């Protein structure tokens, strides 16, 4: 889907340095791009690659344009402009509307126009599938699930039951939405399962990564706001609420009933305990455990970077003897005081 | 499935404060409950909601009954009583016995009465499926697997082979039981796969969460006791043994050949190294790594709570300079001694 | 598949202590082995079991042979020799070449000789499947994927699209290769998806564990070298490169564009931030976060072992008061200096 630089400059509001008749048809990295390829420069780390690039054109900030030997589309935010142009050059493949012969669709399911149901998919009783939805191969859409227009539920993903997702969402392969929450009551003879009867409600423009899991609510629903981005292998427990445009990287785990604000960002392997509230605009570092409410926006961390084992073990040993060190300081203070 | 409060009081041994003819048919939260809804009060945090509740009835401790404006079922353990009554009001949907046209069942598989095999499921050679078992859509029951009566293996779950699960178990969507353990021997030219030939044995009344993985044993079996509760995205390596009624929250990982006792509880993101033994009644905190045997029941932790990044970085910097601080204390001690 | 000890000794270059006519047909643990079973002794921990073993034969080092009451195959590396002999005694089940009636294979897909396509599998447009490949039940091989000879893609695994895997690989159940990377650009109104257009290239002799995820590259490919071993529930982000023979245990997460060398080993729950480079022969301990380049081979760690909660909390409290302790030492130093 080729576009001239002139067309792109006009459509995305970029000033163009170079020939507007040059056309690009796909994206490439600075190093690998050649004629017809569009690249971008957003990380100063790659300045050498910029200088040597043979791309058809590069999206860059004005200040970096002089280092670029090929045509430049100027942007105050090259990565964002790149994202928008890349979506134009590489659109999602068009749907082939229809239900594959091997798919199973319940009589009571409603399927709107333009929907593609792939091989081996299952759409169960009372499911409601919006227009131009893609249901991938092997995907299971359980009873009473609702999928908004133009969403895509990819291969082998499962919406267990009572899961409502909004428009233009992507549920990546293997993700499971609507599984039972981890609700167990203790008895003298062991755990008693607490029935999980809530659903999952997902807003518009949400992505849920491969093999991630979002549990149904225990009673009320688990709620994912609009524009939320969830990476692979993330766990969202029952009755969690996640505010609009929050993003969570892989292995983030959110325990039950926790409420997370808008525009938060969680780096990989972060964990949030249950029944707490995190305000808007909180950023949590990698491998950090959040154990109580956060009511101030900002950056929160709690992890140590790894280092050479011998050196780390030495530090841990000192950490363990901190009490002894404090005692020695106390003794010195006492002795100093006695001398006064 | 409506029940009168009188019936519930009799069946569950609760004293009733209120009209025994009132009936409830479903559960709801204190805030959202209305006529016909049953709620419970177990967390003092929600006392305001209790006082304002318009539920049909509330399960509560005797001491809290006076704060409840609606009928109360008294219980010494409201959450447990709630779990039991909720299971009565919200039973699992009844099975529609039979094998769906699109399911594939091997000739040598044995399927007992009352079993429901859902669309796109596969039951392979020599599998043995007990009475009233539910095999979900897209679930794969591999060769020689055995599923006990009334168990449910949900959508897209996989029992790879030689997996025996007991009665009344639930294997949630996407879980994988019986995959190869991570057995690799080093050679001069790289890793040599160590064949994994054991199976997985799972007791009765076990739940295994969505997208969790339990590896087959290298030689002998991996063993999960009765009543064990495993959350989503948990990893159990080959030849692990887990005692009855132990519970593990999301992202818990247990390395190979480790033996875990009964009634243990592992919070999220905890990790247990291989070849160790954990005794009964051990509780492990979130994001805690257990690196050696535990032979005393109790609560074990090893993680730091996250905090504001600037403050945390200051602490880490001090931690790194602990050796220097210890040296300074040593110098003070020496100097003090010299003065004596 | 029985073999005499004489045959095994000859084939694997072991000296034999015992009767070469004795035969073994399967592996067993030292404790459980009986007649016809082969066991091995590689961990001194199990010396009592060695002394009491009734195995048909045991693989052991020369120095341990005197503790073994049954025939011994001598090996300098018993575990490696065990791996090789076990593979001979327990070969993977032979393929039943052919495409199952319920599988769906696109017209444009190419399928070589000897391939077994299991029930409910899907092979999509322009996929290329090499000789003697096994495609498991419910596995999805997406558009333009290529699978090398003798590889096995097991139940419910998904190769999303543009995934090329080499020869003799095993993709375990539920694994997802080729899902979109977590690429998001910020805009004033929320996240804009950055189209992910790269693929995944996997070398020969690679294993990828159950429910692990490997994202496609953003532009160029994500690359996994030859002989790499990836355990269950591992996350490899877009454009990561992993060198030959590197191994990663469960819950290891590698963030985008990071380059990892050859023969590295990552213990469980380790995390590697994005855009860094790890050299060859690096070993990373459990639950350790690597946050910057490593250019020296060696062992790196950064985690604390869990301990009794009360004792741990005391240590954390002291850690938090380190600044105060440093101030007190400073005051003592000042006071000592003033006295001089």
Q: Write the pLDDT tens digit of every residue in C83-137.
A: 999 999 999 889 999 999 999 999 999 999 999 999 999 999 999 999 999 999 9
Size of chain A, expressed as the number of residues it contains: 340
**Residue B50 burial (CB < 10 Å; 0-12/13-18/19+)?**
buried
C83/B124 touch (CB, cutoff 8 Å), yes or no: no
d(CA B86, CA C182): 40
Exposure string of C71-93, with b = 16+ CB inside 10 Å and e = fewer, is bbbbbebbbbbbbbbbeebeeee
| pLDDT reading at A149 higher than 70 | yes
Note the pLDDT of residue B248: 98
Task: List the single residue in B with minimal CA-CA distance to C121.
Answer: B120
Mutate to test the interface with B, among C137, C153, C179 (most CBs of B within 10 A): C137
The radius of gyration of chain A's CA atoms, rounded to the nearest angstrom, is: 26
Shortest alpha-carbon distance between residue A186 and chain B (Å): 7
For strand A190-193 and strand A184-187, is the pairing parallel, antiparallel, or unpaired?
antiparallel
Note the pLDDT of residue A339: 78
Return the number of CB contacts < 8 Å for A and B.
218
Distances (CA, A) of A182 to A191, A210, A245, B225, B234: 11, 21, 26, 18, 12
d(CA C97, CA B117): 26
Q: What percent of chain A has pLDDT over 90?
A: 96
**pLDDT tens-digit map of C49-70:** 999 999 999 999 999 999 999 9
Nearest neighbour of A207 by CB, restricted to C176, C193, C288? C193
d(CA A150, CA B64): 50
Residue in C90, C238, C245, C275 annotated catalytic = C238
Neighbours of chain C (3+ CB pairs under 8 A): A, B
Please report which helix (H) or strand (E) contains residue B105, including its range: strand B104-105
Mean pLDDT for B287-293 is: 98
Note the pLDDT of residue A1: 75
Contacts of B225 (CB under 8 A, 6+ apart): B203, B206, B241, B242, B243, B244, B245, B246, B262
B275: annotated active-site residue:
no
Mutate to test the interface with B, among A143, A253, A310 (most CBs of B within 10 A): A253
Q: Note which residues in 176-235 of chain B have CB less than 8 A from chain C.
A: 176, 179-180, 182-187, 190-195, 197, 211, 213, 215, 219-220, 233, 235
Task: List the single residue in C with minimal CA-CA distance to A327.
Answer: C325
Contact present, B302 and C312 (Cβ < 8 Å)? yes
- Enter the tokens of residue B312: 């945390």
Please report which helix (H) or strand (E) contains residue B49, including its range: helix B47-51
Nearest neighbour of B140 by CB, restricted to C29, C155, C333? C155
Mean pLDDT for B38-64 is: 95
Note the pLDDT of residue B179: 98
| pLDDT reading at C319 higher than 80 | yes
Q: Specify the residue for token string 């029952």.
A: A238
Instruction: Please indicate if any CB of chain B lies within 8 Å of the CB of C298.
Output: no
| pLDDT reading at B226 higher than 80 | yes
Q: What percent of chain A has pLDDT over 70?
A: 100
Note the pLDDT of residue B337: 84
Residue in B90, B100, B172, B238 annotated catalytic = B238
Task: List the single residue in B with minimal CA-CA distance to C45.
Answer: B275
Q: Note which residues in 259-278 of chain C have CB less than 8 A from chain A.
A: 269-271, 273, 275
Shortest alpha-carbon distance between residue C50 and chain A (Å): 34
Instruction: Please indicate if any CB of chain C lies within 8 Å of the CB of B338.
Output: no
Note the pLDDT of residue B340: 67
Mean pLDDT for B64-93 is: 96
Note the pLDDT of residue B45: 87
Give the up-direction half-sphere exposure of residue A143: CA atoms within 13 A in the CB hemisphere.
Answer: 4
Task: List the single residue in B with minimal CA-CA distance to C230.
Answer: B182
Mean pLDDT for B84-88 is: 97
Q: Looking only at Cα atoms, what is the longest distance across chain B?
A: 94
For the packed helices C322-339 and C309-320, what is the interaxial angle rounded to 10 degrees? Answer: 50
| pLDDT reading at A113 higher than 70 | yes
First vs last C-alpha separation in chain A: 86
Mean pLDDT for C11-20 is: 97
Chain B partners within 8 Å of A235 (Cβ): 231-233, 250-251, 268
The reply to whether ipTM tops 0.90 is: yes
Confidence of residue A174 (pLDDT cuts 50, 70, 90): very high
A197/B90 touch (CB, cutoff 8 Å), yes or no: yes
Mean pLDDT for B279-302 is: 98
Chain A partners within 8 Å of C273 (Cβ): 286
C138/B160 touch (CB, cutoff 8 Å), yes or no: no
Please report which helix (H) or strand (E) contains residue C283, including its range: strand C282-284
Return the number of CB contacts < 8 Å for A and C.
222
Note the pLDDT of residue A28: 96
d(CA B110, CA B153): 16
d(CA B182, CA C249): 8
Contacts of A128 (CB under 8 A, 6+ apart): A109, A110, A145, A146, A147
Note the pLDDT of residue A133: 98
Residue in A90, A100, A172, A238 annotated catalytic = A238
d(CA A24, CA B194): 50
Instruction: Please indicate if any CB of chain A lies within 8 Å of the CB of C313.
Output: no
Shortest alpha-carbon distance between residue C78 and chain A (Å): 29
Note the pLDDT of residue C167: 98
| pLDDT reading at C1 higher than 90 | no
| pLDDT reading at A15 higher than 70 | yes
Task: List the single residue in C with minimal CA-CA distance to B155.
Answer: C156
Mean pLDDT for C297-301 is: 98
Shortest alpha-carbon distance between residue B16 and chain A (Å): 21
Shortest alpha-carbon distance between residue A39 and chain C (Å): 10
Average pLDDT, chain C: 97
Nearest neighbour of C179 by CB, restricted to A83, A210, A269? A210
Instruction: Please indicate if any CB of chain C lies within 8 Å of the CB of B162.
Output: no
Mean pLDDT for A201-226 is: 98
Note the pLDDT of residue C33: 96
CB atoms within 10 A of CB A128: 18
Note the pLDDT of residue B339: 77
Note the pLDDT of residue C340: 67
Chain B partners within 8 Å of C156 (Cβ): 138, 140, 156, 158, 174, 176
**pLDDT tens-digit map of C225-253:** 999 999 999 999 999 999 999 999 999 99
Q: Is A54 left (phi over 0), alpha (psi -120 to 50) or beta?
A: alpha
Out of A157-166, B192-201, B331-340, C209-218, pick the least confident. B331-340
Mean pLDDT for B95-110 is: 98
Size of chain B, expressed as the number of residues it contains: 340
Mean pLDDT for C5-33 is: 97
List the one residue out of A119, A97, A111, A180 whose CA is nearest residue A147: A111
Q: Note which residues in 71-110 of chain B have CB less than 8 A from chain C.
A: 102, 104
């Amino acid at each position: 889907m080729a576009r001239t630089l002139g067309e792109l400059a006009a459509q995305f509001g970029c000033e163009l340095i170079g020939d507007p008749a040059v056309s690009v048809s796909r994206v490439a990295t600075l190093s690998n791009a050649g004629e017809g390829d569009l690249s971008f420069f957003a990380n100063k780390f790659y300045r050498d690659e910029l200088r040597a690039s043979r791309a058809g054109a590069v999206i860059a900030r004005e200040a970096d344009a002089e280092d670029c030997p090929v045509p430049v589309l100027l942007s105050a935010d090259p990565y964002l402009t790149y994202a928008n142009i890349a979506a134009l050059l590489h659109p999602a493949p068009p749907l082939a509307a229809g239900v594959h012969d091997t798919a199973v669709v319940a009589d009571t399911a409603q399927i709107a126009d333009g929907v593609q149901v792939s091989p081996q998919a299952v759409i169960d009783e009372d499911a409601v599938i919006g227009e131009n939805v893609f249901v991938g191969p092997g995907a299971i859409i359980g009873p009473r699930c609702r999928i908004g227009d133009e969403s895509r539920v990819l291969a082998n993903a499962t919406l267990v039951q009572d899961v409502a997702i909004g428009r233009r969402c992507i549920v990546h392969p293997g993700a499971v939405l609507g599984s039972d929450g981890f609700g167990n009551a203790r008895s003298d003879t062991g755990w008693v399962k607490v029935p999980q009867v809530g659903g999952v409600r997902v807003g518009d423009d949400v992505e849920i990564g491969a093999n991630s899991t979002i549990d149904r609510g225990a009673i009320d629903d688990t709620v994912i706001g609009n524009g939320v981005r969830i990476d692979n292998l993330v766990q969202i427990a029952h009755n969690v609420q996640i505010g609009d445009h929050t993003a969570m990287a892989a292995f983030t785990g959110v325990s039950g009933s926790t409420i997370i604000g808008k525009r938060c960002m969680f780096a990989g392997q972060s964990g949030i305990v249950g029944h707490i509230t995190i305000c808007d605009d909180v950023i949590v570092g990698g491998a950090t455990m959040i154990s109580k409410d956060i009511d101030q926006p900002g950056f929160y961390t709690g992890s140590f970077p790894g280092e050479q084992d011998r050196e780390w073990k030495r530090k841990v040993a000192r950490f363990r003897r901190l009490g002894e060190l404090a005692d020695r300081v106390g003794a010195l203070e006492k002795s100093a005081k006695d001398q006064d």
